[in-house]
């Protein structure tokens, strides 16, 4: 299936090792197959989206995350006192169930958690883009992988069709790499950082080349306006130079020079500081159609959780200002309304919240800030908490629209509020229409 991609990969890797990477072509050498009478969503002349991205992530669907669909994981519970025996990610979920049972349960989940109605509703709420995560194991597995390689790719194609029907654009997001790129459960495999080991890198490269090839074809270009090479590679623990030389650059060259196509490439910032990527795959270097994806949260460390709402807003506004002079066009591809980490399993299965002082992992502890009791019962929220959440959301939207826009994480969950766009909107914590403001001018 991937033989042609594999041969191209070998050529690209060989060229890089020999110190002669394939030169990037000018956009003027490519026929713009997305030319229409209407305005393009991505303007190749200015290297930016022509309209602000106002999007939402389709999380917890084709890549499992325990906090999004806890009922799938609660089926493993053995006692009421701790999470012993509950799988921590999709890898261990499939491993513990075995292929047949895991496939049956996942098929039921894929066919029901998102439907066409969701995409219509997203469009009706005024969003213009969805970012859809998928794991490498939807296309190819390592020899000993327990993952179910089922119908995820078919559901992705169905989702793209629904998106097009309701005038939504799509980012296809490779959310999990072989060996894991970050050790987070959202990569499919927690507590592993082996993405750049050669055998894992080869598998991931074949998969991304398949995605680049498929979704840069004419039939998809009207709807798919970005392919994210990998979600959230953990820069502080990875060899970023190797990632650039042996993954990002070959993927770019494969799309531009081998396929000779003009799809948009999205690279995540790897949690590095603003402007870190300013000397990589830029227009000045001859590259084109590259967007940098920044993810921003204020609920995963003690310092952020202890901030006042004014401090939360100030930091959110600084995110918008921080990208104004970056060399690439940028979008905030993930953020949330969360000002606590009280949602069950948001820190991972078996890990307690920092907010209520019960966190204890790898020697890190936390001090009490507030109670997490009844966190998912909106009637228990004070008016101050509701107002603060709305303020924080609006500040982020205003900040991210200083440049390319935003994609909130995520559209729906089974029971949490802070991470669920549907519940946030229903409870008046997220603007509707999207441009409405109860707290205007916070980032002025």
For 53-108, write each residue's pLDDT tens digit: 999 999 999 999 999 999 999 999 999 999 999 999 999 999 999 999 999 999 99
Decide if 43 contacts 49 (C-beta within 8 A).
Answer: yes
Selecting among 65, 209, 232, 394, the annotated active-site residue is: 232
Q: What percent of the chain has pLDDT over 90?
A: 87
Kindly state the helix (H) or strand (E) to which residue 123 belongs, with its residue range.
Answer: helix 116-124
For 277-298, write each residue's pLDDT tens digit: 999 999 999 999 999 999 999 9
Active site residue 334: yes
Domain boundaries, the chain: 3-426
How far from the centroid of its chain's Cα atoms is residue 312's Cα? 22
Selecting among 334, 394, 401, 418, the annotated active-site residue is: 334
**Dist CA 422 CA 413 (whole Å):** 9
| 49 pLDDT above the threshold of 90 | no
In this predicted structure, what is the pLDDT of residue 28? 33
Q: What are the backbone dihedrals phi and psi of residue 56, each rounded to the nearest 5 degrees, phi first?
A: -145, 145
Active site residue 232: yes
Residue found by looking up tokens 């990002």 in the block: 248
Has domain 3-426 been given CATH number 3.40.50.880?
A: no
Can you give the pTM of this predicted structure? Answer: 0.92
Residue 40 confidence class, pLDDT cut points 50, 70, 90: low
Residue 21 corresponds to which tokens in the numbers above? 């990477």
Residue 298 corresponds to which tokens in the numbers above? 């204020």
């Amino acid at each position: 299936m991937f033989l042609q991609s594999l041969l191209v990969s070998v050529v690209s890797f060989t060229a890089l090792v020999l110190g002669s990477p394939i030169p990037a072509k000018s956009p003027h050498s490519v026929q713009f197959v997305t030319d229409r009478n209407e305005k393009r969503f991505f303007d190749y002349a200015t290297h930016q989206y022509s309209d602000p991205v106002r999007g939402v992530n389709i999380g917890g669907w084709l890549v499992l995350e325990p906090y999004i669909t806890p009922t799938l994981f609660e089926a493993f519970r053995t006692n009421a006192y701790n999470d012993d025996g509950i799988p921590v990610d999709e890898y261990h979920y499939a491993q513990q169930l075995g292929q047949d049972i895991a496939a049956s349960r996942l098929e039921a989940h894929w066919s029901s958690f998102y439907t066409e109605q969701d995409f219509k509703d997203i469009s009706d709420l005024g969003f213009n883009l969805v970012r859809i995560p998928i794991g490498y194991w939807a296309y190819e597995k390592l020899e000993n992988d327990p993952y179910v390689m089922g119908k995820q790719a078919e559901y992705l194609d169905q989702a793209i069709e629904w998106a097009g029907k309701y005038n939504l654009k799509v980012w296809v997001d490779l959310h999990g790499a072989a060996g894991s790129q970050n050790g987070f459960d959202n990569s499919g495999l927690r507590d592993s950082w082996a993405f750049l080991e050669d055998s894992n890198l080869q598998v991931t490269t074949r998969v991304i080349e398949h995605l680049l090839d498929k979704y840069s074809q004419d039939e998809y270009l009207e709807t798919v306006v970005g392919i994210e090479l990998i979600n959230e590679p953990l820069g502080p623990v990875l060899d970023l130079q190797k990632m650039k030389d042996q993954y990002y650059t070959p993927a770019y060259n494969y799309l531009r020079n081998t396929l000779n196509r003009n799809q948009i490439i999205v690279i995540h910032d790897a949690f590095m500081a603003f402007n870190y990527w300013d000397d990589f795959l830029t227009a000045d270097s001859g590259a084109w159609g590259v967007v940098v994806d920044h993810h921003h949260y204020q609920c995963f460390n003690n310092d952020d959780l202890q901030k006042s709402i004014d401090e939360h807003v100030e930091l959110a506004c600084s995110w918008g200002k921080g990208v104004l002079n970056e060399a690439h066009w940028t979008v905030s591809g993930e953020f949330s309304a969360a000002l606590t980490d009280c949602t069950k399993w948001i820190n991972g299965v078996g890990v307690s919240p920092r907010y209520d002082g019960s966190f204890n992992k790898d020697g890190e502890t936390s001090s009490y800030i507030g109670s997490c009791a009844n966190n998912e019962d909106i009637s228990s929220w004070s008016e101050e908490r509701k107002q603060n959440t709305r303020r924080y959301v609006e500040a982020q939207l205003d900040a991210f629209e200083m440049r390319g826009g935003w994609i909130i994480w995520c559209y729906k969950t089974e029971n949490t509020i802070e991470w669920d766009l549907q519940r946030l909107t229903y409870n008046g914590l997220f603007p509707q229409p999207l441009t409405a403001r109860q707290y205007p001018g916070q980032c002025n």
